[in-house]
């Protein structure tokens, strides 16, 4: 048997890599993980965690206004300090980074604070030139924001830099219409910026239910967020006063203070040396893997966004767990990708699980749709016209709930529990047989007609 430095060498200490490292070590493997930036990965350091904290902060803009209707004597002009929120969020990121490190260390995982590249089926080279060998290698390097190649693209930022801004700009242009674009549009808007989203097509949030995303579009426009569709970047020019002049197809140029690209994410496989081990990539640069996360090189595996299967943190964690249990724990496990819930932390948030109405009609043929379109009690007293919408998609023959889609306050929190029912294959009749919890927004799930 070959003598290797490690049983497992992990490249990338994000959500998938840290879970795989910790579990493999708990199963008795000798594990090292190399991370060139910070332990925690995209989600903890520059993604869902700090973004959600900004979303919480942004919600206070409307909450403080609404509080007056509930008897609180809130000053008409409340002062907001971006610097305070930014620094508190970054401090929390630092705390989590330390917590992740301690967890790995407590499981006897060696942390190597360097970039590592693959040099063969069982070998890697660190940034300092050191060579390491391992029986198995796991690639968990994640993905990075895509940036258009238009002239002047260097004047824009991505979500990575949004957490470090010196101040909130007055005019923000966001390229893209996916979840990152819509989430940051809501955040910047609530912090007082004038926000414009531009998108190459006429659709926002492709993949989500059409009715729900149309409602978000209506609400966003009502709040004052602008949209320019069928618009492709042609160039960004930095003016003498520091402002940015953005040219785009089918629309007049715009003058803004900040351009943010939110046009998708690309796997971090460039320059990783995967070709030295015969690891094949797909057309998007993602590592091709089988159901057991194994690449085309038998000793090299991959999990998380670098595989471009489902770019969600909980999925990467499950893939890392399944890999470690299968390879080192003697417990063959595969991730079930059916009925994965997802949320968009927009203003208001969206959440969904299962098939959209269009997918159900294409797949099942016979479909029954139930909805509840209502104004939350809090919005009524606050004088806010914003309406929530819940939508249940059922198999027309069996009544089984195959999709649940929602937009409104707290719907991600509500959907998590409801997703269990959809995953379990419960029927509309079983939802109806459950007594409503009144008065709540969640009760609409058992009252839909």
Residue 307 lies in a domain: yes
Instruction: Judge if 223 and 317 occupy the same domain.
Output: no
Residue 124 lies in a domain: yes
Instruction: Judge if 136 and 273 occupy the same domain.
Output: yes
Residue found under tokens 């994640």: 142
Contact criterion met (CB below 8 Å) for 158 and 260: yes
CATH of the domain at 355: 3.30.390.30
Structure token pair of residue 324 = 């470690």
Q: What pLDDT score was predicted for residue 376?
A: 96
> In sequence order, which residues have a C-beta less than 8 Å from that of residue 374 and are 6 or more positions away?
387, 388, 444
Residue span of the structural domain in which 96 resides: 6-144+266-329
181 assigned to a ligand binding site:
yes
178 assigned to a ligand binding site:
yes
Instruction: Judge if 20 and 135 occupy the same domain.
Output: yes
Residue 446 preceded by cis peptide, ω within 30? no
Q: What pLDDT score was predicted for residue 141?
A: 97
Residue 1 lies in a domain: no
180 assigned to a ligand binding site:
yes
Condensed to tens digits (0 to 9), the pLDDT of residues 275-285 reads: 999 999 999 99
Residue 241 lies in a domain: yes
Instruction: Judge if 128 and 274 occupy the same domain.
Output: yes
Condensed to tens digits (0 to 9), the pLDDT of residues 15-28 reads: 999 999 999 999 99
Between the CA of residue 12 and those of 78, 141, 244, 359, 363, what are the distances in Å? 42, 4, 35, 35, 38
Q: What pLDDT score was predicted for residue 1?
A: 45
Instruction: Judge if 353 and 420 occupy the same domain.
Output: yes
Secondary structure element (H or E) that encloses residue 369, with its range: strand 367-374
Q: What pLDDT score was predicted for residue 76?
A: 82
Contact criterion met (CB below 8 Å) for 212 and 348: no
Residue 336 lies in a domain: no
Instruction: Judge if 257 and 284 occupy the same domain.
Output: no
Instruction: Judge if 10 and 77 occupy the same domain.
Output: yes
The dihedral through the CA atoms of 86, 92, 96, 102 has a sign that is positive
Residues marked as catalytic:
438
Question: CA–CA separation, 18 vs 94, rounded Å?
Answer: 16
Condensed to tens digits (0 to 9), the pLDDT of residues 156-177 reads: 999 999 999 999 999 999 999 9
182 assigned to a ligand binding site:
yes
Residue 99 phi/psi, 5-degree rounding, is -65, -40
Q: What pLDDT score was predicted for residue 442?
A: 96
Rg over CA atoms, the chain: 24
423 assigned to a ligand binding site:
no
Q: Write down which residue in 277, 294, 329 finishes a domain.
A: 329
Q: Write down which residue in 297, 329, 361 finishes a domain.
A: 329
Residue 212 lies in a domain: yes
Query: Pairing relation of β-strands 171-175 and 233-238?
Result: unpaired
Instruction: Judge if 317 and 348 occupy the same domain.
Output: no
Instruction: Judge if 73 and 185 occupy the same domain.
Output: no
Overall number of domains in the chain: 3
Share of the chain above pLDDT 70, in %: 100
Going along 180-329, which residue ranges are E strands? 194-198, 226-228, 233-238, 244-248, 254-256, 258-261, 265-267, 300-302
Q: Mean pLDDT across the chain, nearest whole number?
A: 96
Residue 284 lies in a domain: yes
Condensed to tens digits (0 to 9), the pLDDT of residues 405-429 reads: 999 999 999 999 999 999 999 999 9
Q: Write down which residue in 262, 292, 308 finishes a domain.
A: 262
Chain-centroid distance of CA 174 in Å reads 17
pLDDT band at 365 (very low <50, low <70, confident <90, very high): confident
Instruction: Judge if 135 and 277 occupy the same domain.
Output: yes
Instruction: Judge if 137 and 177 occupy the same domain.
Output: no
Task: Give which of 167, 118, 449 is closest to 287, Cα–Cα.
Answer: 118
Condensed to tens digits (0 to 9), the pLDDT of residues 50-81 reads: 999 999 999 999 999 999 999 999 988 889 99
Condensed to tens digits (0 to 9), the pLDDT of residues 324-356 reads: 999 999 999 999 999 999 999 999 999 999 999
Structure token pair of residue 264 = 């998708």
CATH of the domain at 180: 3.50.50.60
Residue 334 lies in a domain: no
Question: CA–CA separation, 295 vs 297, rounded Å?
Answer: 5
305 assigned to a ligand binding site:
yes
Residue found under tokens 């402002």: 243
Residue 346 CB burial class (10 angstroms; 0-12, 13-18, ≥19): buried
Given a cut of 90, whether residue 84 has pLDDT beyond it is yes
264 assigned to a ligand binding site:
yes
Instruction: Judge if 96 and 241 occupy the same domain.
Output: no
């Amino acid at each position: 048997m070959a003598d290797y430095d490690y049983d497992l060498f992990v490249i990338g200490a994000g959500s998938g890599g840290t879970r795989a490292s910790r579990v493999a070590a708990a199963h008795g493997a000798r594990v090292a993980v190399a991370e060139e930036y910070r332990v925690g990965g995209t989600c903890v350091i520059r993604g869902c965690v700090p973004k959600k904290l900004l979303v919480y902060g942004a919600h206070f803009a409307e909450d403080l206004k609404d509080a007056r209707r509930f008897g609180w004597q809130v000053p008409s002009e409340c002062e907001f300090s971006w610097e305070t929120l930014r620094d508190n969020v970054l401090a929390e990121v630092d705390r989590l980074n330390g917590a992740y490190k301690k967890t790995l260390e407590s499981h006897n995982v060696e942390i190597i604070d360097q970039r590592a590249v693959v040099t063969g089926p069982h070998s890697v080279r660190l940034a300092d030139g050191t060579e390491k060998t391992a029986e198995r290698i796991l690639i968990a390097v994640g993905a990075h924001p895509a940036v258009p190649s238009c002239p002047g693209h260097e004047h824009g930022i991505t979500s990575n830099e949004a957490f470090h801004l010196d101040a909130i700009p007055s005019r923000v242009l966001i390229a893209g219409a996916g979840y990152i674009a819509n989430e940051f549009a809501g955040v910047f808007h609530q912090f007082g910026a004038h926000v414009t989203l531009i998108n190459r097509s006429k659709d926002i949030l492709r993949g989500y239910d059409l009715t729900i995303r149309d409602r978000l579009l209506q609400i966003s426009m009502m709040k004052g967020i602008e949209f320019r569709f069928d618009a492709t970047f042609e160039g960004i020019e930095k003016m003498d006063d520091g402002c940015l002049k953005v040219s785009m197809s089918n629309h007049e140029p715009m003058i803004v203070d900040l351009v943010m690209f939110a046009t998708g994410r690309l796997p971090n496989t460039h320059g990783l040396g995967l070709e030295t081990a015969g690891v094949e990539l797909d057309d998007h640069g993602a590592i091709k893997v089988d159901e057991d996360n194994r690449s085309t090189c038998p000793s090299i595996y991959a999990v998380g966004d670098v595989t471009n299967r489902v770019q969600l943190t909980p999925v990467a964690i499950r893939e890392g767990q399944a890999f470690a249990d299968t390879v080192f724990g003697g417990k063959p496990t595969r991730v079930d990708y059916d009925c994965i819930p997802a949320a968009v932390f927009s203003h208001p948030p969206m959440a969904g699980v299962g098939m959209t109405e269009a997918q159900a009609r294409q797949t099942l043929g016979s479909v029954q749709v139930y909805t509840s379109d209502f104004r939350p009690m809090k919005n009524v007293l606050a004088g806010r016209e914003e309406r929530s919408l819940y939508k249940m998609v059922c198999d027309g023959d069996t009544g089984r709930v195959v999709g649940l889609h929602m937009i409104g306050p707290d719907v991600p929190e509500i959907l998590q529990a409801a997703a269990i029912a959809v995953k379990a294959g419960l029927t509309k009749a079983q939802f109806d047989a459950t007594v409503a919890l009144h008065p709540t927004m969640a009760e609409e799930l058992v009252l839909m007609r």
